[in-house]
Structure 1
Amino acid sequence: MTMRVLLTHTPHVRANYYGDVALARLRELVEVRLHESDAPLDTAGLIAQARDCDVIIADRQTDGEAALFEALPGLVAFLRCAMDIRSIDVPAASRAGVLVTRATAGFVDAVAELAIGFMIDLSRGVSRATASYRAGDMPAIEMGVQLSTATVGIIGFGAIGRQVGTLAGALGMTVLASDPVLIAQPGIEQVEMAELLGRSDFVICLAPVLPETENLMDARAFAAMRRGSFFINLARGELVDEASLIAALDRGHLRGAAVDVGRAPNQMPSPALAGRADVIATPHIGGLTPEATQHQAFDTVEQVAALLQGRLPPGAVNAEHADRLKRLLRETA
């Protein structure tokens, strides 16, 4: 049996988030069908293109709705080439017997490095001065912040937070962290969030999105930050009440902010924030390096290889309900 796999990435997204090397390796294993339109696939288009496919490898712009799993009785697995599976109806996939997987976090170093870049830019007004010079104006000359004597507070101390803490410590910064899990990393002072907000020159939000963390950074949180401090969000837009952030910037309580995520479509920074002179906004590029994106692409290649070898692939999130997988394993045995 030849396994047929649909790769949902548009050509532009495929070039940035999958890459030729991973695609070539995938083609050595299976028959690959590419999505060649510049528009992301909606559910109807996905059903049409995956009609005779065994596996879908989906980028994060492609949803896995219940109708998809109901309409494709031959679909065995839906592999997400990302960690975020919130746009996949996993219960519906489980009811249909379709395996769902996710990729691992290959972007830890890339996002952590962007966090350091944001702090350097904010601390010295690099983007602001560059924009003024480019417009033919003389930039305002303002006193900077020296990172080696500054304090950074990291909200959410997972893999990215730990790497940010390591890099910030190497710069001589005092590193505070707030997380419900006990932190044992040397050089990190674990504190409650309220203390972190009040002591930090830079607050970096890296918390996970949970019902209890939505709008974690609200008016009260921004008011608790030190006057003249900076806010950075590299996690998810849902964590921040943007109206409260804008208000804190408007009244001068915060000196500036940097965001790589927001509440615009596809987690992009919102125009209301991105258009401000006191905000550095990047278009959700935290994990956009060849090393980071190929890591997740090769995760999906490994998952396909596991299916071909009759193994449960790594990253499976509903293995106990993947009844269609048993049929595929029998046919490939």
Structure 2
Amino acid sequence: MTPLRIGHVGPPPHPSFAATVAQDPLLERVEIPLDAPLEAQLEALASCDAYYCMAARDELPPPLHVHDALLARLPRLLMAASYGAGYDALDPAACTRAAVVLVNQAGGNARGVAEHAVAMMLACLKRIPESHARMRAGTARDRTDQMGRELSGRTVGLVGCGHIGTLVSAMLRAAFGCRILACDPALDAAALAARGAGKVVLEELLERSDVVSLHCPLAPDTRGMLGAAEFARMRPGAVFVTTARGSIHDEAALLAALDSGHLAGAGLDVWQLEPPPPDHPLLHHPKVVASQHIAGVTQESRSNITRIAALAFSDLAAGRLPPRIVNPDALPAFEARWRARLSR
């Protein structure tokens, strides 16, 4: 059988991808230089059966995002796989129209992201960003004026309780005895109870939580989900944390809620533009702890997500449906194309 050709632009996120691909004789890897001319990149991708695509939209030139225009140039393509759990640079509807399956790596970096979210909760409640800023400015005087709060026993609201939210719930309950509320339309009350969370609607979650942490994907129904009205509904003195995706929350509205004193702090790993400009006011706010979308950028997470991505390509090459298909509506048309390739 002809090997399945996998194209990726630039090096993969971890050497584990190349090592895993090399173990399968049915796979062939095509690395396309990130700085190559666009037409050369498109020509190389057109020779591939699969595209291993960067997940962070601002790291990849828009013409290489998986959308209708690109897919029209890639008639051979059967599968597009995101580098991570998110797929901001890949359009599921466009993939479905092209009879291309879209696969993500959901769960592969869950522990790294969950740890980061909990770390941000602790940093905000303990007022570590504020103390750091005062010490750097030479204005640190009265320690009592920097008095923080403990995470133990608090109510934490999780917006989304999938792979990452489930781990956050487990960590917070085991280590801190927290009460967990969750808003997730994909899970009923029994499923959330099994994950240690009480099911509530978003409005109730905002009103009852000491900490609100986002763990949902960026999708049409979540874009702009948290704005001025939602931040105003949160408890005075609450903390907001997001390791999900930028554009789910309104950055200007969050800044206003922090400036007014209504919110006590924010932990931000994701941004509308990544990285944010250096003069972004949230980066310089004393109540904000910020990071550059690195929650899942750990040695362990990167090794895992690249390995499971390579194994998904192996499934496709061997005639098996890969796991974690984002657009199952594509399957009927995709399977006809897939069988045609397997018969060659």
TM-score when normalising by structure 2:
0.82
Q: 1:189 to 1:300 in 2, by over 3 A?
A: closer
Q: Say whether residues 1:23 and 2:18 are aligned partners.
A: yes
CA distance in 1: counterparts of 2:155 and 2:230, whole angstroms:
17
Moved more, 114-123 or 284-293: 284-293
**Residue aligned with 1:280, SS:** strand
CA distance in 2: counterparts of 1:128 and 1:212, whole angstroms:
34
> Residue 304 of structure 1 is aligned with which of 309, 313, 321?
313
**CA deviation digits over 1:268-309, x for unaligned, max 9?**
999232222211111111211222222221222112212332
CA distance in 2: counterparts of 1:115 and 1:257, whole angstroms:
11
Moved more, 284-293 or 321-330: 321-330
The aligned counterpart of 2:108 is: 106
Q: 1:132 to 1:98 in 2, by over 3 A?
A: same
Q: 1:75 to 1:172 in 2, by over 3 A?
A: closer
CA distance in 1: counterparts of 2:253 and 2:118, whole angstroms:
24
**Residue aligned with 2:343, SS:** helix
Q: 1:191 to 1:88 in 2, by over 3 A?
A: closer
1:115-194 mapped onto 2 (5 Å cutoff): 115-138=117-140, 141=143, 142-170=146-174, 171-180=176-185, 181-182=188-189, 183-185=192-194, 188-194=197-203
CA distance in 2: counterparts of 1:267 and 1:320, whole angstroms:
41
> Residue 225 of structure 1 is aligned with which of 216, 234, 242?
234
Amino acid at match of 1:165: S
Q: Say whether residues 1:273 and 2:286 are aligned partners.
A: no
Post-superposition offset of 1:155: 2.3
Q: Say whether residues 1:256 and 2:265 are aligned partners.
A: yes
**CA deviation digits over 1:240-268, x for unaligned, max 9?**
12222111111111111111112114799
The 8 Å contact of residues 114 and 165 in structure 2, kept in 1 or not, is answered as: yes
**Gapped regions of structure 1 (runs ≥ 5):** none
The aligned counterpart of 1:33 is: 30
Q: 1:139 to 1:232 in 2, by over 3 A?
A: farther
TM-score when normalising by structure 1:
0.85
Identity of aligned residues (%): 31
Post-superposition offset of 1:96: 4.2
**Gapped regions of structure 2 (runs ≥ 5):** none
The aligned counterpart of 2:7 is: 6
Q: Say whether residues 1:320 and 2:332 are aligned partners.
A: yes
- In the alignment of these two chains, the number of paired residues is 323
The aligned counterpart of 1:83 is: 85
RMSD, aligned α-carbons: 2.8
**Residue aligned with 2:170, SS:** helix
Amino acid at match of 1:102: N
The 8 Å contact of residues 128 and 139 in structure 1, kept in 2 or not, is answered as: no
Post-superposition offset of 1:189: 3.6
